[in-house]
Amino acid sequence: MTQVPSIAEEQLSTSLSSSKSVTLRIARFNPEHENERKFMEFTIPYEKWTTVLEAILEVKKHFDHSVAVRYSCRQATCGSCGMIINGKPRLACFTKISELDSDIVTVEPMNNFPIIRDLAVRFERLFDTHHKIKPYLIRDDSEITSNEKEFLQSPEELEQYIQFSNCIKCGLCNSACPTMATDSSFVGPQALAQAYRYVADSRDKGKDSRLKVIDDSHGIWRCHFAGSCSQVCPKGVDPAMGIQFLRGYLLGFRS
Amino acid sequence: MTQQDENKEGIGGMINPRRYGIERVAYLLMRLSGLGLLAYFIGHIYETSSILKGEVGWNEFLELTQTNEGHAVLAIVIAMCVFHTVNGIRVMLGHGGVGVGKPARPDYPYTPASQNARHKIGIYSAIVLAAIAMMYGLAVMFGE
């Protein structure tokens, strides 16, 4: 019987081979043992389709397995591998090295998130603020108690919020936000866009309670419409648009 | 938690205009012009209060604005005032949800509708109008 190698063995034995190579600079920092960040450089071969995440995993497989990085789906769906790539927040699995048009690729942990180690950051605050804006349908009745079996919605009503339900909670918007850079208490573009997602949902009746949460000195009024959140969103959510619509309710432009 | 623990970018990251296009440049200019106009407003109140010292005191203080340095400062104030007003109108309309596009199912490659051409034209207009107003002010003040 032929011996089939395990996936782990296969991954250990294979490496990227290409005539092109890039210098991958990885930020290394362990807040428990070190005082400042340092960079380690690796020369990695790459193909046209090689992503930054694949290059980092190449480093882990063949050079230094201790590099800390969070990832899962490798297809821009789980929102785990957000990091600063050549100065801008991006998903490592969604960013091809060839598209960066640079011989040096520098990867750092996302800004405005506490660092666990190297490229892995803490998401507790993002999830806390996300939970704070009540990310669920609020109404007195339910699909079980109502005479109707489901809450019907027209395609036009769906169009009002479907874009904002694409959020994968990767945190890139919070990392790019200039207000988040100085104000840790700011709700942040991720949570504000999600507040709009539920306020704009025709099935939801919790608009007033959500507006009350965000109508705060560290809430929606601290957004100054710089738009960086929308520019870095990998799923086309456009948080800046949602936030301005949401503010429209508070300013009386919308009802 | 200290700023380092939180890994916040801080003011350096907030004012860095290089990474996110013209919108972030406008964000920085709006902040700088706002602070500049606030400083001018405080200086202006101080200046006008010199009238309490009588006509001589008032004229002495007014002479400060008649120097080359005074003219240069006033020209910058004109530019800040025009930029802050025009860009402020753009931002206020945006804050009300006006001109930020319509929600729609996004298609790849995702182009944010809120960062549309109307807003970019608004920003460039604010910069150009501020430059024209400043040059006009300089021509009037130095052309005497």
> Considering only alpha carbons, which residue of chain A is nearest residue B13?
A181
Q: Domain tally for chain B?
A: 1
**How does pLDDT run across B34-51, given as a tens digit for each residue?**
999 999 999 999 888 888
Cα B77 from Cα B28, distance rounded (Å): 16
Range of the domain at B57: 8-100+111-142
Q: Are residues A152 and A172 in the same domain?
A: yes
Categorize the per-residue pLDDT at A16 as very low, low, confident or very high, splitting at 50, 70 and 90. Answer: low
Instruction: State which of A73, A92, A121 marks the end of a domain.
Output: A121
**In this complex, is the C-beta atom of A39 within 8 Å of any C-beta atom belonging to chain B?**
no
Query: For residue A159, which residues of chain B lie inside 8 Å, CB to CB?
Result: 103-105
Q: Which of B13, B107, B110 sits opposite A181 (nearest CB)?
A: B13
Cα B37 from Cα B39, distance rounded (Å): 5
> Considering only alpha carbons, which residue of chain B is nearest residue A122?
B6
Q: Are residues A188 and A137 in the same domain?
A: yes
A31–B5 C-beta distance less than 8 A: yes
Q: Residues 88 to 107 of A: which have CB under 8 A from any B CB? A: 88
Give a yes or no: residue A186 inside a domain.
Answer: yes
Give a yes or no: residue A1 inside a domain.
Answer: no
Q: Are residues A25 and A94 in the same domain?
A: yes
**How does pLDDT run across A98-145, given as a tens digit for each residue?**
999 999 999 999 999 999 999 999 999 999 999 999 999 998 887 777
**How does pLDDT run across B104-128, given as a tens digit for each residue?**
999 988 999 999 999 999 999 999 9
Residue B46: give its domain's CATH number. 1.20.1300.10
Cα B100 from Cα A255, distance rounded (Å): 17
Label residues A6-36 b or e (16+ Cβ within 10 Å = b). eeeeeeeeeebeeeeebebbbbbbeeeeeee
Report which of residues A191 and B97 the model is more confident about: A191
Cα A234 from Cα A90, distance rounded (Å): 7
* Whole-Å CA distances, A129 to A85, A218, B14, B73: 25, 11, 21, 44
> Considering only alpha carbons, which residue of chain B is nearest residue A36?
B4
Q: Are residues A247 and A148 in the same domain?
A: yes
**How does pLDDT run across A91-107, given as a tens digit for each residue?**
999 999 999 999 999 99
Q: Are residues A38 and A141 in the same domain?
A: no
Q: Are residues A230 and A159 in the same domain?
A: yes
Range of the domain at A13: 7-121
- Beta pairing, strands A120-121 & A115-117: antiparallel
pLDDT at B144: 61
Percent over 90 (pLDDT), chain A: 84
The candidate with the shortest Cα–Cα distance to A84, out of B23, B36, B13, is B13
Q: What is the largest CA-CA distance in chain B?
A: 69
pLDDT at A160: 95
Q: Are residues A137 and A241 in the same domain?
A: yes
What average pLDDT does range A6-25 have in this prediction? 69
Q: Are residues A130 and A247 in the same domain?
A: yes
Give a yes or no: residue B89 inside a domain.
Answer: yes
Residue A229: give its domain's CATH number. 1.10.1060.10
Report which of residues B55 and A144 the model is more confident about: B55
From the number of C-beta atoms within 10 Å of its C-beta (0-12, 13-18, 19+), residue B67 rates as exposed
The candidate with the shortest Cα–Cα distance to B74, out of B125, B37, B27, B127, is B37
For chain A, how big is the Rg over CA atoms in Å? Answer: 21
The candidate with the shortest Cα–Cα distance to A32, out of A144, A127, A114, is A114
**How does pLDDT run across B22-31, given as a tens digit for each residue?**
999 999 999 9
Query: For residue B15, which residues of chain A lie inside 8 Å, CB to CB?
Result: 178
Query: How many beta-carbon pairs below 8 A join chains A and B?
Result: 140
Q: Is the ipTM of this complex over 0.90?
A: no
* Whole-Å CA distances, A205 to A99, A134, A136, A244, A253: 44, 12, 10, 20, 19
In angstroms, the separation between the Cα of residue A74 and the nearest Cα of chain B is: 17
The candidate with the shortest Cα–Cα distance to B103, out of A155, A174, A138, is A155
Q: Are residues A133 and A37 in the same domain?
A: no
Give a yes or no: residue B2 inside a domain.
Answer: no
For A130, the token pair is 């996300």
Q: Are residues A111 and A129 in the same domain?
A: no
Give a yes or no: residue A153 inside a domain.
Answer: yes
pLDDT at B143: 84
Structural contact between residues A231 and A176, judged by C-beta atoms closer than 8 angstroms: yes
pLDDT at A142: 76
Q: Is pLDDT of A79 > 90?
A: yes
Collapse the DSSP code of B3 into the 3-class scheme (helix H, G, I; strand E, B; otherwise coil) and give the result: helix
Q: Are residues A176 and A87 in the same domain?
A: no
A241–B112 C-beta distance less than 8 A: yes
